[in-house]
Every structure is written in C-alpha cells, then in structure tokens.
Amino acid sequence: MDRQTLIRTAIETLPSSYVPYSHFHVAAALLCRDGTVYTGINIENAAYTPTICAERSAFFRAVNEGKREFDAIVICGGREGVITDYCPPCGVCRQVMREFCDPKAFKIILAKSETEYKEFTLEELLPLGFGPEDLGRGN
C-alpha cells in the first residue's frame, strides 16, 4: 500500500473519534506486514485514565486478530477534527509500538494531508527504547 492511501485511510477515520472532553480527534492507520490495515481512533472517558489513544486502538485491534508484524503507522489529528499540525504519538503509544516493532525499520508517518507528512523510524522517536529483548525475549 502506498503512503498516500494509508494517509487517506487515517484521515477518513478521524471523524469517528470519541472526544467529548478534549475535542482533539486523533486517528491512526496501521499497516501490517501482510498488507492488512487496521484503523484506530482515540476514545475518551470521563474518568480520563481509561482513555485510549488511536495508535494503541489500532495495535490492539490488530493483535487481537493475530497480527504480530507491522511496517508502518500513519497518525493524524487536530482540535475539532481539523488537522493543522503534526500529531506525534505519546510515550505510552511509542512503548506499545516498541513491543511489536523493529525500532530501526518501523515507520511512523505524521500526516497533515496526503502530500504533507513527516516520516520517522520508531528508533528516532524512542531512542534507547526498552523492548522484549531486554527481558531475554526477542521480537
């Protein structure tokens, strides 16, 4: 799948976010190694801590379906669902990515539009990340 299609998928998912408190919509499109794409949205909760980010939402859906190999994720977001800037993943989401992805190879694409985006490796956004191999288990 090309970047623009993956970006478009994330952008089209953005209105599904459930954000009655912050009004900050976030969506993600996660590309599995086999070409399958899982989308995710942020889902807020009045108690705040049960809130889940779009990135983790996508990963957890994919893992629930048996996927364990991932190539890239697109993340987009903005207040009232209007994308005005790049929307980087929080630290918790970066750590979830680290559980399942090769930090040198996994791509994180922050998109403002289909043609305006920035691409990073997970290692660039989570240097010296703690992963499965640190507990004696390889990816």
Beta strands 70-79; 107-111: pairing state: parallel
Report residue 136 as tokens.
Answer: 């004696």
**Cα–Cα distance list, 93 to 1, 5, 42, 89 (Å):** 23, 23, 12, 6
Return d(Cα 130, Cα 46) in angstroms, integer: 31
Q: Which of 44, 55, 69, 133 is catalytic?
A: 55
133 is catalytic: no
Active-site residues, by number, are 55
